Amino acid sequence: MRESFASAVAGAALASAVLAQSQRPDAPETWGTATGYTTVPAFALQAERPEFSTIVRDMSRARCNENTSPDDEVDARAIAQLPVPDGALLTQLAYWAYDTDPDLDLSYDVYETCQTPGGGLPFVTPLGHASPSFSAGQYDGFIPFSHLTADATNCAYSVRVTFAPAGHECVAGGLEVEKFRVAWVRQVSPPPANPTFGDVPVGHPFFQFVEALAKSGITGGCGNGNYCPDAPLTRGQMAVFLAKALGLQWP
Amino acid sequence: MCCLAATALSALTPSRASLAAEPRTYGTSLVSYVRVPGVAFTPERSEYGYLSSGYAWYRWTDGRLGAPIQLPSGARVVSMKMEFYDISAENSLHATLRSCVVSDCIDHPAAGAGPPDCVTPGSLCSGAAFAGGLASETADLTADDITVDNLTHTYLVEVTMSGNGSIGSHRIGSVVVGYILQVSPAPATATFGDVPASHPFFQFVEALAASGVTGGCGGGNYCPDAPLTRGQMAVFLAKALGLQWP
């Protein structure tokens, strides 16, 4: 039996973040380590095998119009990229769809595609799957991820929708996808094994964060291999930190 | 050799003039831009349009091309610009930024009814038409004040053509959406005892707290007047940016 999106996540840590934000819908966070979102309209879906299956989109939904493979022997599928911030902890992919077909259900698969060291075929990892049984119209759901940190430098993320498995013709109008939303949380990298600065050793309470600034090129320390973590910050130093951190540009 | 080195260096440090074309992503006073190239547009139905090297074009009238667009949460959309080519006096192109409301589909499941139209047509940015040009044209579209909300909306750019086009008569170079980052309005109740709603920095301290950048200085306070050490600054910045490295 399928639960609603809201009740299914009730009690989870994520639920409070989602609900709290929806109470301030005009104020979602852009930065920081609170929950952020990437939304993808169904218009982003492209046919996996365009020579066999036609995906028709309008501004609010996508559906499979026909499967022209012999005896419908090819799965009718569509794929969309999921842009996510590098290093963010991905927590779930939510989907919204429409299904009035008693015989067929949409199914969703999320993939991570990474470069293979030394070349060769891209390395594809399945991250999650859902095939909710539904036939009463509008529905929504989500695929949870477990401890998944996005590596946007080396990998791409995508969702694949199966409109009709092999042996079935597409159902025009009965199965439609509307949109996706990836929830994520920005993270600070775990600290390295060796410290960069002499006065911020491994055991220092700010070690992880000072190393993050150093690795990112935001600070080079205060000279002589030190960072001077206890020195007061002047407004002038603050300006340098912020301008470098944000890579500020102007015309 | 000296000149090669100089050339390489100048490529890394562009002049102020060349910076004008660069996107500006941060701050709350300058307009930043997301450029959606023509090749990112795909037609609703494949027979409605073509992709070419560098742009998209229309084949038939009344077709729609669309492209998803990613905008920063909390940004205020202030402008749209369409860079296009139009050699037809009879018809025109329209660019519109569409938002699809996610929460409608959560809160109002329409079991048994037809799928609700989650799009709110024209509510984000007004469309504008251009026609009769003999060469490429650029025109600004004025957007309504819209704050991007990636929790409850999806966004895409739609380009439609009215009238009867001929093959290649209308070509889309890019659609450029301009936005300005904002700091959230202050909440009704204060998070920290020493930064009440009347405090001049209330809005900004609350923004940091809601974003998970700070948890205060303990005891339910933020200590807004305490001096900041370089070490504390590192924690603020690393959390704020979610700094990552390989």
- The answer to the question of residue B137 being in a domain is yes
| DSSP reduced 3-state for A181 | strand
Report the range of poorest mean pLDDT among A136-145, B29-38, B130-139, B154-163: B130-139
| Pairing mode of beta strands A53-57, A123-130 | unpaired
- Claim to verify: residue B164 and residue B192 sit in the same structural domain: no
Note whether B244 contacts A137, CB cutoff 8 Å.
Answer: no
- The answer to the question of residue B2 being in a domain is no
Query: CA B175, CA B162: separation in Å to the nearest integer?
Result: 18
Confidence class for position A61, pLDDT limits 50, 70, 90: confident
Query: CA B157, CA B90: separation in Å to the nearest integer?
Result: 23
A residues 100-119 near B, CB within 8 Å?
none
Could you give all domains of chain A from N- to C-terminal order, each with its CATH number? Answer: 5-184 (2.60.120.260), 188-251 (no CATH)
Note whether A32 contacts B211, CB cutoff 8 Å.
Answer: yes
**Across all residues in chain B, what is the average pLDDT?**
71
pLDDT of B224 > 80? The answer is: yes
Contacts of A243-246 with C-beta under 8 Å, sequence gap 24+, read A244/A217, A244/A218, A244/A219, A245/A213, A245/A216, A245/A218, A245/B237, A245/B240, A245/B241, A246/B25, A246/B26, A246/B27
Give the residue from A191, A21, A167, A188 showing the smallest Cα distance to B102. Answer: A21
Query: CA A207, CA B230: separation in Å to the nearest integer?
Result: 12
- Claim to verify: residue B43 and residue B81 sit in the same structural domain: yes
Flag whether residue B18 sits within 8 Å of chain A, measured between CB atoms. Answer: no
Interface test with B, best of A7, A33, A43 (most B CBs within 10 A): A43
Point out the domain boundary residue: B180, B211, B228. Answer: B180
Average pLDDT rounded to a whole number, residues B99-113? 45
Residue B107 pLDDT: 33
CB neighbourhood size of A189 (10 A): 19
Q: Which two tokens stand for residue B36?
A: 């959606």
Confidence class for position A230, pLDDT limits 50, 70, 90: very high
Instruction: Look up residue A68 and give its amino acid.
Output: T
CB–CB of B73/A37 below 8 Å? yes
pLDDT tens digits, B140-182? 666 566 788 888 788 888 887 766 556 666 777 888 888 888 8
pLDDT tens digits, A4-40? 223 332 333 333 333 333 333 333 446 788 888 898 9
Domain count, chain B: 2
Q: Which residue has the higher pLDDT, A152 or A157?
A: A157
- Claim to verify: residue B208 and residue B108 sit in the same structural domain: no
pLDDT tens digits, B26-81? 777 778 888 888 888 887 766 556 666 566 666 555 567 888 888 888 888 887 77
| DSSP reduced 3-state for A236 | helix
Point out the domain boundary residue: B162, B180, B198. Answer: B180
- Claim to verify: residue B190 and residue B68 sit in the same structural domain: no
- The answer to the question of residue B72 being in a domain is yes
Ramachandran angles phi, psi of A182, nearest 5°: -95, 130
DSSP A116: P
Query: CA A46, CA B243: separation in Å to the nearest integer?
Result: 33
Quote the domain boundaries for residue B232.
Answer: 184-246
CB neighbourhood size of A13 (10 A): 9
Calculate the alpha carbon distances from B66 to A54, A60, A158, B169, B174 in Å.
17, 11, 19, 18, 12
pLDDT tens digits, A166-187? 888 887 778 999 889 999 999 9
Interface test with A, best of B24, B233, B236, B239 (most A CBs within 10 A): B233
- Claim to verify: residue B43 and residue B143 sit in the same structural domain: yes
Confidence class for position A74, pLDDT limits 50, 70, 90: confident
Report the range of poorest mean pLDDT among A59-63, A180-184, B195-199: A59-63
Flag whether residue B147 sits within 8 Å of chain A, measured between CB atoms. Answer: yes
- Claim to verify: residue B55 and residue B169 sit in the same structural domain: yes
- Can you tell me the ipTM of this complex? 0.77
- The answer to the question of residue B5 being in a domain is no
The shortest C-alpha distance from A8 to chain B (Å) reads: 12
- Claim to verify: residue B55 and residue B170 sit in the same structural domain: yes
- Claim to verify: residue B175 and residue B190 sit in the same structural domain: no
Average pLDDT rounded to a whole number, residues A97-123? 90
**Pick from B111, B231, B238: which is nearest to A188 by CB?**
B238
Query: CA A114, CA A128: separation in Å to the nearest integer?
Result: 16
Burial A22-60 (b: 16+ CB within 10 A, else e): beeeebbbbbbbbbbbbbbbbbbbebbeeebbbbbbbbb
A-chain residues near B240 (CB < 8 A): 31-32, 245
Residue B232 pLDDT: 95
Note whether B66 contacts A216, CB cutoff 8 Å.
Answer: no
CB–CB of B90/B177 below 8 Å? no
- The answer to the question of residue B96 being in a domain is yes
Point out the domain boundary residue: B180, B195, B214. Answer: B180
Note whether A212 contacts B73, CB cutoff 8 Å.
Answer: no
Note whether B244 contacts A188, CB cutoff 8 Å.
Answer: yes
Instruction: State CA A225 to chain mean position distance.
Output: 38
Flag whether residue B229 sits within 8 Å of chain A, measured between CB atoms. Answer: yes
Calculate the alpha carbon distances from B93 to A191, B50, B137, B171 in Å.
53, 15, 11, 9
pLDDT of A238 > 80? The answer is: yes
Residue B46 pLDDT: 60
- The answer to the question of residue B148 being in a domain is yes
- Claim to verify: residue B63 and residue B168 sit in the same structural domain: yes
**Pick from A33, A96, A237: which is nearest to B212 by CB?**
A33
Query: B65 pairs with which residues across the strands?
Result: B43, B159
Interface test with B, best of A5, A21, A26, A31 (most B CBs within 10 A): A31
